[in-house]
């Protein structure tokens, strides 16, 4: 079963996300796809109707139940909204907001202890790839993570391919997913300029268990096409 997730990042409003989610739910209900579908909207759009054919996830949370952490949300808020899925360590948070591997490990440990579904994002810079240090870099990002945790999905997103329109080559994707599998990751999805034109080829590769889609998920029609491609791989 393919895992197909859409990350809105800081796009869409509460009202536009609700409209999108209703359309996505209808699409999945009508076609009875076998894919495991997730949607990560902005924080302001997390609380709305329950959708039975896909799961809503949070793009970030702080590893506490609650407390004096201005600007963050914790487990209490996620539980109230019935959010059971969380993204940790997206490269934009690592690069722009300085989230370290240690912070990501703390988040993983806390939310795994509370049974959350976790998308853990990993990926190297172009400099690391050119230096042929990809395996060592990914191993460091996974250090301290319980890779046997049954609710873990590792999202491989090479930093140099996120939002650039340039996806990694099929050979690069397959080789890197093989590295992650060898390191002990059970379920690994690819993210990095995934779109309707390349999604089917990417999802057909050995070791690729699905995709995490950024910009191409912002339009419902585009995201639905990617889901269809996952069914036809």
Q: Look at residue 117 and give its three-state secondary structure.
A: strand
Report the Cα 63 to chain-centroid distance in Å: 18
Angle between helices 220-231 and 14-31 in degrees, nearest 10: 30
Tell me which of 36, 124, 157, 177 is the catalytic residue. Answer: 157
Report the Cα 34 to chain-centroid distance in Å: 18
Tell me which of 12, 36, 90, 92 is the catalytic residue. Answer: 90
- The residue with tokens 């949607």 is 39
- The residue with tokens 């889609």 is 213
| Residue 157 annotated as catalytic | yes
| Residue 113 annotated as catalytic | no
Q: Look at residue 212 and give its three-state secondary structure.
A: strand
Q: Is there a contact between 128 and 95 (Cβ–Cβ < 8 Å)?
A: no
Cβ density class 102-132: b for 16+ within 10 Å, e for less: ebbbbbbebbbeeebbbbbbbbbeeebbeee
Residue 13 vs residues 42, 46, 71: alpha-carbon distances, Å: 8, 10, 18
d(CA 167, CA 1): 23
What positions carry a catalytic annotation?
Answer: 90, 157
């Amino acid at each position: 079963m393919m895992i197909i997730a859409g990350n809105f990042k800081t796009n869409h409003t509460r009202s536009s996300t609700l409209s999108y989610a209703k359309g996505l739910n209808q699409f999945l209900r009508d076609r009875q796809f076998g894919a495991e579908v997730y949607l990560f909207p902005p924080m302001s759009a997390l609380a709305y109707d329950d959708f039975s054919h896909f799961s809503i996830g949070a793009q970030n949370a702080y590893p506490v139940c609650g407390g004096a952490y201005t600007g963050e949300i914790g487990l209490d808020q996620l539980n109230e909204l019935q959010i059971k899925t969380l993204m940790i360590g997206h490269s934009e948070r690592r690069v722009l907001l300085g989230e370290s591997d240690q912070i990501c490990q703390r988040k993983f440990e806390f939310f795994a202890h509370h049974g959350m579904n976790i998308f853990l994002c990993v990926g190297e810079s172009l400099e690391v790839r050119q230096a042929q240090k990809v395996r060592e870099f990914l191993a460091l990002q996974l250090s301290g993570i319980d890779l046997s945790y049954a609710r873990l999905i590792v999202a491989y997103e090479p930093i140099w391919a996120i939002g650039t329109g340039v996806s990694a080559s099929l050979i690069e994707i397959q080789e890197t997913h093989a590295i992650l599998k060898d390191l002990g990751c059970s379920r690994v999805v690819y993210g990095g300029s995934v779109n309707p034109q390349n999604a089917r080829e990417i999802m057909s590769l050995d070791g690729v268990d699905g995709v995490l889609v950024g910009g191409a998920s912002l339009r419902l029609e585009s995201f639905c096409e990617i889901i269809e491609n996952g069914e036809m791989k």
